[in-house]
Structure 1
Amino acid sequence: MQAIYVQENELRSYCQRAFEAYGFSNQEAEIITDVLVTADLYGIETHGSQRLEMYRQHIQKGYIKVGRQPEIAFETPISAVVDGKQAMGQLVGKFGMELAITKAKQSGIGMVTVRNSNHYGIAGYYSNMALPHGLIGVSMTNSFPIVVPTYGRSPMMGTNPIAVSIAAEPTPFYLDIATSVAAVGKVEVCNKKGVDLPTGWGINEQGVDELNPKHLIDCVRSRMGGLYPLGGSQELFGSHKGYGLAVLVEFLTASLSQGTTANHVQESDVMGVGHYFMAIDPKLFGNPDEITRHWSKYLQELRDSEKALGQTRIYTHGEKEYETEAILCERGVPILPKTIEEMKQLAEQLNIEWNIAA
């Protein structure tokens, strides 16, 4: 299935008008749009414009409350608990990370845990917010239950990504990984493309590997089957490690905030997603410039180290995203035809102009 290339300005304009049509302010729509288009430009098609249909459903079902604003529920000089008030996840995420950054500037470190939010897009968007301030950024989130524990078949955790952003030359270190074998958005993309899943991505209601993406999605929705933790189905390949990392994210996002763990997310008319943000000032450990030089030297040594047979390059985290962004800003964002069709239908429903040349 060939993707259709859409210019960045056209995509931003469409998303901006769509979210304004839902009732978000111009500034709010701009924030939400920037998170989605950044994901598209990084080549993370699972969390960009293909998520528009999911957000439409969540707004219509009342999970996302347009017009709501997050509030601080508990606070110290270096920490805070934020109640998302069921607001749009991107707006809650920006609020939480900005609060962590403010505290880090004042006290050296800022930690913010969030309850009662919604899907917030790519975790790395928020960790990257720390970089212009000379800080280290961390971002995590739980979600609807999608991932099974090692040797289980009922989903109990979200894909629970962990993102970390650290200044470096020539490009920042940018790690943004799910603690599952794959993000559920990749299953959705396989479904749109009409291709089977790789063996070892997920388990069905019978307790065996599932290759049909549509059936695995149905299993997730019925909470009988789901994705494997990072490492797959068995301890032999490290399944217990991904499982443990996912549970750790549940603690930081849900238990610290006294919010909702993934297995209870979306049990009523409240989504209840939790987030965690941290910003760290490297001045706590010495001269930031010297720390960056030391870190950059190691990253370059990683790139220059001996390659495996047949390989020509070793990447450090973030290089692919930044290189992809430079290419797609010129070429346009690749969007699957089924997603384009969803976007056209949404434009009709919202009575907004369809401005995308596709």
Structure 2
Amino acid sequence: MTALSLPDARALVMAAMTACGHSAGAAETIADHLLDCELRGLSFGGLARALSIAERMRTTEAPPRPLQVVSETPVSATVDGGDQVGYLVGMHALRLAMAKARAQGVAVVGARNTWYTGMFSYYLEKAAVAGLAGMIAGSGPAVVAPHGGTEARFGTNPIAFGVPATPTPIIWDIGTSAVMYGEVRLKARLGEKLAPGQAYDATGTPTLDPAAALEGAFGVWGAHKGSGLALVVQLLGMMTGAAADPPGVSDCGFFVVLFDPGVLTDRDDYRQRVAAFAESVRATRPIEDGHAVRMPFDRSAARRNETLRRGAIDVPEAVVAALRAEAVSG
């Protein structure tokens, strides 16, 4: 592992992103998202993802197009992402949704023709800090087999919910696959194995090889219940106009619903009641020899604070070397 100071890590990502064609502003947006993942210990969505972005852009012939709002009402909008990376499209969709939710109390925004939208908790934290509650669901290329099957039909299909609270928002963010796409790509890059039961190869045989899994299918999370949730998330993503099974890494659906709790109740009182309820959950008697009960996002917030105090992150040497090569390739 290589220890990188946080400023050096940010500069490295920005250099790689500008080298592959992004403006300085776009590179900053991408770097902020990837660094937040690293701060929270989610390395599969961190600096290694910058390599996947550069590789995808290098192997795509048509250049990305400008973002375009193709339909809009006071409470809704549909965004064509122009095949730009999802970190940029997701932030554009979030800003639209936040503005509409502030003005109208509720907003539904969908985006399509994008890819790699990142951690939905990243977006929902920004909404929750602004006092808004919401949900984000996302569909993508078929890489996950439904329960009982070995052929890909779903995307990894993350879904997340966020609610404003003090001192940190309540955010529950999960993928509906047994292993996330970024984890598989990172393990393939580092020559590591998958855990048993996470994936199948192209013949439907269980595999620990991430490269074989990328040619086959990942398992679904949560057996038949997780499979049902994955199906619903796929349908929500398709509501943006995204394809059910787009080719390669493309045309992910990004479905955002935000609302102001103040349209239903006193928003300050609600925030206080949420905080009190969260404390009651944390105070639950743990199982014998177990750890204290946590609320969703507690671990992420604590890990981020710890990493910020340290001022550095540990990144695989192979990832750092590849990023430095990307940074000078432009």
Q: After TM superposition, list the pairs within 5 Å mapping 1:299-338 onto structure 2.
A: 299-331=278-310, 332-338=312-318
Q: How far 1:186 moved relative to its partner?
A: 2.1
Q: How far 1:250 moved relative to its partner?
A: 1.6
1:108 equivalent to 2:92? Answer no
Q: Give deviations 1:147-180, integer Å, cap 9, x for gaps.
A: 1111222111111111222112232112111011
Q: 1:102 to 1:175 in 2, by over 3 A?
A: same
CA contact (8 A) 1:58 1:64 kept: no
For the residue of structure 1 that corresponds to 2:83, the secondary structure is coil
Q: Which whole-Å CA distance do the structure 2 matches of 1:61 and 1:194 have between them?
A: 22
For the residue of structure 2 that corresponds to 1:86, the secondary structure is strand
2:235 corresponding residue in structure 1: 251
Q: Give deviations 1:268-299, integer Å, cap 9, x for gaps.
A: xx821211112110001211111112111221
Q: Which whole-Å CA distance do the structure 1 matches of 2:247 and 2:102 have between them?
A: 33
CA contact (8 A) 1:63 1:86 kept: no
Q: 1:194 to 1:85 in 2, by over 3 A?
A: closer
2:217 corresponding residue in structure 1: 226
Figure out how many residues of one structure are paired with residues of the other and give that number: 329
- Find the partner of 2:89 among 89, 92, 106: 92
Unpaired segments ≥5 residues, structure 1: 220-224, 232-238, 351-358
> What percent identity do the matched residue pairs reach?
26
Q: Which whole-Å CA distance do the structure 2 matches of 1:320 and 1:27 have between them?
A: 30
- Find the partner of 2:202 among 196, 201, 205: 205
1:55 equivalent to 2:46? Answer no
Q: Which whole-Å CA distance do the structure 2 matches of 1:157 and 1:63 have between them?
A: 26
TM-score by length of 2: 0.93
For the residue of structure 2 that corresponds to 1:139, the secondary structure is strand
2:145 corresponding residue in structure 1: 148
CA contact (8 A) 1:64 1:86 kept: no
Q: Which whole-Å CA distance do the structure 2 matches of 1:183 and 1:310 have between them?
A: 30
Q: Which amino acid aligns with 2:166?
A: E
- Find the partner of 1:11 among 6, 9, 12: 9
Q: After TM superposition, list the pairs within 5 Å mapping 1:1-358 onto structure 2.
A: 3-62=1-60, 65-66=63-64, 68-217=65-214, 219=215, 225-231=216-222, 239-254=223-238, 256-261=239-244, 263-266=245-248, 271-331=250-310, 332-350=312-330
Q: 1:91 to 1:65 in 2, by over 3 A?
A: farther
Q: 1:300 to 1:63 in 2, by over 3 A?
A: farther
CA contact (8 A) 1:128 1:137 kept: no
Q: Which amino acid aligns with 2:325?
A: Q
Unpaired segments ≥5 residues, structure 2: none
Q: Give deviations 1:213-272, integer Å, cap 9, x for gaps.
A: 33223x2xxxxx2111112xxxxxxx1221121221222222x122212x2333xxx821
Q: Which amino acid aligns with 2:183?
A: K
CA contact (8 A) 1:147 1:155 kept: yes
Q: Which whole-Å CA distance do the structure 2 matches of 1:244 and 1:63 have between them?
A: 36
Q: How far 1:129 moved relative to its partner?
A: 2.0
TM-score by length of 1: 0.86
CA contact (8 A) 1:64 1:88 kept: no
Q: Which whole-Å CA distance do the structure 1 matches of 2:263 and 2:48 have between them?
A: 40
Q: Which whole-Å CA distance do the structure 2 matches of 1:140 and 1:250 have between them?
A: 8
Computed over aligned residues only, the root mean square deviation of the Cα atoms, in angstroms, reads: 1.8
